[in-house]
Amino acid sequence: MTTPAEMTDQQADSAGARNLRRRRLRIVVRHAILVAWALVILFPIFWMIATSFKESGEWVAWPPHWIPQQPTFKNYSQIFTFDTMQKGVAREATEQPFNVWGPLGDSLLICTVSALIALLLGTFLAYSISRFNVGGKHFRHAILMIRMVPPIVIAIPLLMYYAIMIPLAAETVLGTRIVLFDTRVGVSAIYIATTLPFVIWMMLTFIEEVPYTLEHAARMMGAGRLYTLRRVVLPLVGSGMVVTFLFVFILNWAEFLLALTLTHPDVVTLPVLLNKFQSASEGRLFGPQAAIGTIITIPVVVLGMLIQKHLIRGFSFGTIRK
């Protein structure tokens, strides 16, 4: 072995060249692996989008067609049709709820309203936890526990609660029958409860970045608590609230188990709609299904990309240093 001091220039040159080559090789291998995983991720999405433009004959052709040979918008026009009795549609799916408008409206309404309410409640509570230490030192962790409980365990009592207990109680107390099962209110209520822990956690990270002294300054100038909250704190965590709202919206948009178990047949969210296609095992409607999958996916992926940077921070749970 030679120490660096003993190396001749030539040796040093060739060692440097070897190092350079090795480093280049490492970079190439690294990129190869990253590109491979990118392909793994993009392929199923590509396949879904491709299928959504395929004619029914191409859905399960062997060998499969990677790119639709006769691209068509038929699948989209089928799911977006206003007239369910249209010819050609009815032939293939007489017993299926085929129209996407109703579920799209239900999903948008439920997800937006429940995300907004959860955001409002959660932001206030996060503020209270951060500034007044409400609930004690471990409250924020206790809240996280709710999120970790499997939703099926919540779904079973909720079904009986919504379908039996509340109607019974309402009938004896109010004299009218109120059912929360299969209603938008019922689904929204459980979405609010299950997303609150996330709102509280994300908003805590944003609120704790607002220095206390700003609020002190406002209060010294005579501003009341609500005025301070509205004019000083909320504007400063506004972008955080937008991010949190979008995140919670995406969570609700994707939720399947609770929507599946607490609705039928009136309220249908998009994931439930997609599942209804799947359960009809005979003559699967891959094309329209892919079209629905695409329209469910694209908006949330776009939203997700918008908040990507903030997600990295929100998910760090305090491990990132400023």
Kindly identify the residues of this chain, within the stretch 174-213, that bind another protein according to CB under 8 A.
Answer: 189-190, 192-193, 196, 200, 211, 213
Q: By C-beta, is 222 or 265 nearer to another protein?
A: 222
Tokens of 83: 């007239």
Residues 13 to 72 in contact with another protein, rule: CB under 8 A: 27, 30-31, 33-34, 37-38, 40-45, 47-48, 51, 60-64, 66
Q: How far apart are CA 81 and CA 62, in angstroms?
A: 30
179 contacts 167 by C-beta, under 8 angstroms: yes
Rounded to the nearest whole angstrom, what is the least distance from the CB of residue 120 to another protein in the complex? 9
Please report where in the chains the tokens 């005025």 appear, as a residue.
227
State CA 105 to chain mean position distance: 17
Query: For 5, which DSSP code?
Result: G
- Between residues 89 and 190, which has the closer beta carbon with respect to another protein? 190
Distance, in Å, from the CA atom of 112 to the CA atom of 246, rounded to the nearest integer, reads: 9
Q: Which of residues 226-255 bind another protein (CB under 8 A)?
A: 226-227, 231-232, 235-236, 250, 253-254
Residues 41, 57: Cα–Cα separation, whole Å = 26
Binding string, residues 250-289; x marks residues near another protein by CB under 8 A? x--xx-xx--xx--------xx--xx--xx------x--x
Asked if 225 interacts with another protein (CB under 8 A), we say yes
* Amino acid, res. 317: F
Q: How far is CA 88 from CA 75, 81, 127, 180, 292, in A?
A: 11, 12, 56, 37, 18
219 makes contact with another protein (CB under 8 A): yes
Q: Residues 130-159 vs another protein: string with x where CB under 8 A?
A: -xx-xx--x--x--xxx-xxxxxxxxxxxx
Q: 175 or 222: whose CB is closer to another protein?
A: 222
